[in-house]
Amino acid sequence: MQLLHLPRLIGLLEAMEQQQVSIAKAGVVASLPSRCSVIAAANPKNGHYKMENTVAENLRMSGPLLSRFDLVFILRDQADSDRDRMISGSIMNRLRRGPDPHSGRSYRDSGNGHGGGRMADIMDQYSAQDLVPLKDRLPWVIEFQKQPLPLQQIKDYIAYAREYCRPKMTPAATSVLQRYFMKLRHGNRKGDVPITTRQLEALIRLSQARAKACLRPCVLKEDAEDVVELMIECNRQVHTDGSGNIDKGRGGAGGKNKPKRAFLAAMRDSGSSEFAYPDLLRISERVNLPMGINFKDFLENLREDGAVMKGFCDGRPIWTMHSS
């Protein structure tokens, strides 16, 4: 996404928002229908994701475009024994060819015995009537289905689902989605990211897609519960700040987060027009900036956003508020 130029991003926003693409070429002016799923990836600026910033600030992406995505997940390279074991095992399985001459089995079949037993123990905790959460079900599927499906078979399956499967909502699934949406709405406080019917429409789309993936004619309660679990995990990642706390005021599409607004308001209320670095440090202590924020990076982000300007006086850096 960060490699796309502004005109292409504007065109992508129109396609996602209005389900159409406007063209004006060779004397032809028309609007073509565009209904498709968009899966995008973007790298953070400077190659490092800063948890004290919002998703929009890390990606330098406009809020309206980011808000059109139903789900946003943050992939950070952190040390995790289970995930590192899965990644290294996948790489080794791909590089190793043929059966293991010492065991008579393929390397894929013999490489993850410990992981398979551990996942079997986790699955045994649930009864036949329980809905197994996705966080436990997906690793078990990876252990169970070791051989990837043929690419052409997957293409045919997706084409068949798109052509012939039109899932309808059931009362049970509708109840699950409605309860979660009402919980979001009534749990929203002043200053939090607003919850609108766009979130409800996203839940419906994802539930229908989940049922379509199973070639079902209707959306089951289990489909809706899986989607709610996905949405909860997505919101947790997006709203987690640098200190590991959940702050619903720093949504993925948010522009200025609350620490920046508080800091700029304190600079404005001080009555000064120029600020030295010690002055800014005192202001940061007064507004209680979160401990996870790197103050020098914080000032640099303000300068990049155009909120403050940096100059020099007698060789010392001086910051001034941008005149509005």
pLDDT values of the chain reduced to their tens digit, one per residue, 324 residues: 766 776 677 778 888 888 888 888 888 888 888 878 888 888 888 788 887 777 877 887 777 788 888 888 888 888 888 788 878 887 887 777 554 444 444 433 434 444 456 666 777 777 766 777 887 787 777 777 777 789 999 999 999 998 999 999 999 999 999 999 998 888 766 656 677 888 899 999 999 999 999 999 999 999 999 999 999 888 888 877 666 666 666 655 444 456 777 888 888 888 888 888 888 888 888 887 765 567 887 888 788 777 788 888 887 888 888 655
User: CA-to-CA distance for 313 and 17, rounded, in angstroms?
Assistant: 48
Residue 264: CA atoms inside 13 Å, Cβ hemisphere, count? 20
CA angle at residue 144 from 141 to 150, to 5 degrees?
85
Tokens of 93: 């399985």
Q: Enter the pTM of the model.
A: 0.65
Give the CA distances from residue 206 to residues 108, 176, 199, 226, 237, in Å, rounded to whole numbers and listed in that order. Answer: 33, 13, 11, 9, 18
| Closest to 62 measured CA to CA, from 319, 255, 296, 312 | 255
Residue 56: CA atoms inside 13 Å, Cβ hemisphere, count? 17
Residue 221: CA atoms inside 13 Å, Cβ hemisphere, count? 7
